Amino acid sequence: MIRDKTVLQADSQPSEILHRHEQINYLSEILRPVVDGERVDGALLYGPTGAGKTCTSKFILERLSDERADVQTAHLDCWNNATRPAILHRLVETVGLQRGLTRSTPADDVSKRLQDDLETPLVVILDEADQIEDQQVLYDLYRNPLVTMVLIANDDEEFFAGLESRVNSRLITIPRIQFRKYTDAELTEILAHRADAGLADDAIQRDALAVIADAAAGDARVAIGILRNVAERAQREGLERITGEVILSVVDVARKEVRQQTLSSLNTHQRVLLEILCEHGQMGMGDLYSRYEDRVENPRSERMVRKHLAKMAHYDLIETEGEKSGREYRAANALVDPRGGKQVIGPGYRLE
């Protein structure tokens, strides 16, 4: 059934990118001067998750460094590297200039190293760029004549609105490339492409792929995840072909898997907050905090709790309603079982 497992991973780079010709051409054109050794300010790629932003930009950068061996490229996930020192350290590492620098070298020195010792052009993808906390780093990279930034965010307006004016005034003019959700037909083709490469011949029919595409709601990452789960299930059960029924039974499992992955990245405090919201539904900050205080050993400050909540809201684990003093929090719908309001995360969790 499964011929090549790697191509069924959502983050594996496909051999060709489907339905993104326009964006590929545009971004290639923007980055063209880099090949000729000229300066390029950068570009902003924006659109919902699973729309191919990361995939497309990685593809272009690979092609770029194939074309010109002296152009270096890097991909950085700013969700995990949100601070200036973290980003700069990752960068000097990838371009091999880390000699003599340690984890405790001041960020200023690292930035200077990148400024002084970088000799060839560097194109860097800053994925989830809206998560960057200290925008000084954008300024650092912007004024480095050899560095070109490919910024990725969900919403372009929101991204620029969140920038400090001195950074905003410099970056506001960079070209923006929009990525829309894939249509079901497009997703189906993407899945077919993966299935051809990763599954036995005729293991899955086109109409079955369409069912997956429908369940994924335009998100290629989710779609590929479902395909992998379906294939694994069919393999375990010794099926010759994947049918619509198998898919429907797996969609739920696949959703849970994604959710579980997210939950495992939370710390104790974040999990307790989520747990309370799942059990009690919507509530305001005062209510939520006093319940939280009762439940954990060493409660964090209220400010810290607000920070946690903000982070979880960005993960779409919780939803907020209202502004300022009237704000209410609740667990995201996906976390609460629609049948009878039974909680998916509940008292089952043991917290130390």
Q: Taking each helix axis as running N to C, give the angle between helix 184-198 and helix 206-216, from 0 to 180 degrees, rounded to the nearest 10.
A: 120
Contact between 86 and DNA per CB under 7 A:
yes
Contact between 306 and DNA per CB under 7 A:
yes
Nearer to DNA by C-beta: 104 or 264? 104
Contact between 71 and DNA per CB under 7 A:
no
Binder among 200, 285, 332, 344 for DNA (CB under 7 A): 285
Binder among 96, 286, 338, 347 for DNA (CB under 7 A): 286
| Order of strands across the sheet that contains 72-77 | 72-77, 122-127, 147-153, 42-46, 176-178
Binder among 300, 319, 343, 344 for DNA (CB under 7 A): 300
Nearer to DNA by C-beta: 85 or 198? 85
Q: Count residues near DNA (CB under 7 A).
A: 30
Binder among 96, 326, 338, 347 for DNA (CB under 7 A): 326
Task: Give the torsion sign (CA, 70, 71, 75, 81).
Answer: positive
Radius of gyration of the chain (CA): 23
Query: Which stretch in 118-126, 165-173, 297-305, 339-347 sits in contact with DNA by CB under 7 A?
Result: 297-305
Contact between 287 and DNA per CB under 7 A:
yes
Nearer to DNA by C-beta: 45 or 110? 110
Closest approach of DNA to the CB of residue 313, in Å: 9
Closest approach of DNA to the CB of residue 331, in Å: 15
Contact between 256 and DNA per CB under 7 A:
no
What does the H/E/C string look like for 305-324?
A: HHHHHHHHHHCCCEEEECCH
From the list 326, 287, 331, the residue with the least C-alpha distance to 312 is: 331
- What are the φ and ψ backbone dihedral angles of 99, each rounded to 5 degrees? -55, 125
Binding mask 265-284 for DNA (x = CB under 7 A): --x----------------x
- Could you tell me if 19 and 189 are in contact, meaning their C-beta atoms sit under 8 angstroms apart? yes
Contact between 106 and DNA per CB under 7 A:
yes
Contact between 200 and DNA per CB under 7 A:
no
Closest approach of DNA to the CB of residue 83, in Å: 3
Nearer to DNA by C-beta: 170 or 314? 314
CA distance 2 to 231: 7
Joined tokens for residue 176: 């923006």
Binder among 4, 310, 342, 346 for DNA (CB under 7 A): 310
Contact between 141 and DNA per CB under 7 A:
no
Binder among 327, 337, 346, 349 for DNA (CB under 7 A): 327
Task: Convert 29-60 to b/e letters by CB count within 10 Å (16 or more is b).
Answer: ebbeebeeeeebebbbbbbebbbbbbbbbbbb
CA distance 64 to 122: 11
Joined tokens for residue 68: 């010109």
Joined tokens for residue 166: 């001195």
CA distance 57 to 140: 22
Start-to-end CA span in the chain (Å)? 43
β-strand pairing of 176-178 with 72-77? unpaired
Nearer to DNA by C-beta: 2 or 82? 82
CA distance 294 to 202: 57
Contact between 77 and DNA per CB under 7 A:
no
Nearer to DNA by C-beta: 8 or 305? 305
Helix (H, G, I), strand (E, B) or coil at 5: coil
Residue 165: CB atoms within 10 Å: 8
Contact between 165 and DNA per CB under 7 A:
no
Query: Which stretch in 7-15, 116-124, 149-157, 325-333 sits in contact with DNA by CB under 7 A?
Result: 325-333
**What does the binding site for DNA look like in residue numbers (CB under 7 A)?**
83-86, 102-107, 110, 267, 284-287, 300-304, 306-307, 310, 323-327, 329
